[in-house]
Amino acid sequence: DFSTIDHFLDSEHLPIKRIGRYLKIPKKVDNQKLLNNGIISTHDFHPEITFLNIPLSCTKEELLDTLNRIKKSI
């Protein structure tokens, strides 16, 4: 649910933007740091920005857990 994601990003004051089903982090996040928090990032499209897919088939609790793990990684 995009409203859940938008509310989380706003309430946590994170510099992350949601673009459709992607999250755009305005800095390069180390893939190993993401992996240590259970987030798999497989592509490096831009040297200064990290893009992550948002899981589409999950519960609200699973989505919030994923967002918290991303937050720990940045």
pLDDT, tens digit (0-9, with 9 covering 90-100), for 62-74: 999 999 999 999 9
Give the domain extent around 32: 2-73
Task: Tell me the pLDDT of the chain averaged across its residues.
Answer: 90
pLDDT per residue as tens digits for the range 3-37: 999 999 999 999 999 999 899 999 989 889 999 99
| Sheet architecture: strand order including 17-19 | 17-19, 22-25, 50-53
pTM, two decimal places: 0.86
Q: State the Cα–Cα distance between residues 65 and 35, nearest whole angstrom.
A: 14
Q: Are strands 17-19 and 22-25 parallel, antiparallel or unpaired?
A: antiparallel
Give the count of domains, the chain.
1
